[in-house]
């Protein structure tokens, strides 16, 4: 049973890695800064799950999860790739269509 508690911690830690990266992108000058408050809430929630040592702490952490709605980010000052969370190398490549 302790394995399950450790696994929740590992899963939360992996999720945290992505959240930290997203928060860094959001904080950049041309990043989607309006996302920062929601990302900070998600980081706090995952940190609670990562540190959980009992099933009760896990249950309380999950019960407290609230995934907020992303704020609308419009404007030319935001890099669209940062807004979507994709790096240029991850963007789908366009191929010529056959007619």
Q: How far apart are CA 50 and CA 87, in angstroms?
A: 27
Predicted confidence (pLDDT) per residue in 1-24, tens digit: 789 999 999 999 999 999 999 999
For Cα atoms 59, 64, 69, give the angle at the middle one, nearest 5 degrees: 140
Q: What are the φ and ψ backbone dihedral angles of 57, each rounded to 5 degrees?
A: -65, -40
Closest CA to 33 of 87, 88, 82: 82
pLDDT tens-digit series, residues 39-88: 999 999 999 999 999 999 999 999 988 877 777 776 656 667 766 665 53
Burial of 79 (0-12, 13-18, 19+ CB in 10 A): middle
């Amino acid at each position: 049973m302790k394995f399950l508690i450790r696994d929740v911690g590992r899963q939360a830690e992996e999720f945290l890695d992505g959240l930290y990266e997203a928060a860094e992108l959001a904080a950049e000058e041309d990043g989607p800064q309006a996302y920062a408050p929601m990302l900070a809430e998600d980081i706090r929630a995952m940190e609670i799950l990562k540190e959980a040592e009992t099933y009760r702490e896990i249950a309380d952490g999950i019960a407290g999860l609230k995934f907020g709605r992303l704020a609308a980010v419009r404007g030319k000052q935001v890099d669209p790739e940062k807004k979507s969370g994709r790096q240029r190398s991850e963007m789908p490549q366009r191929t010529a269509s056959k007619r």
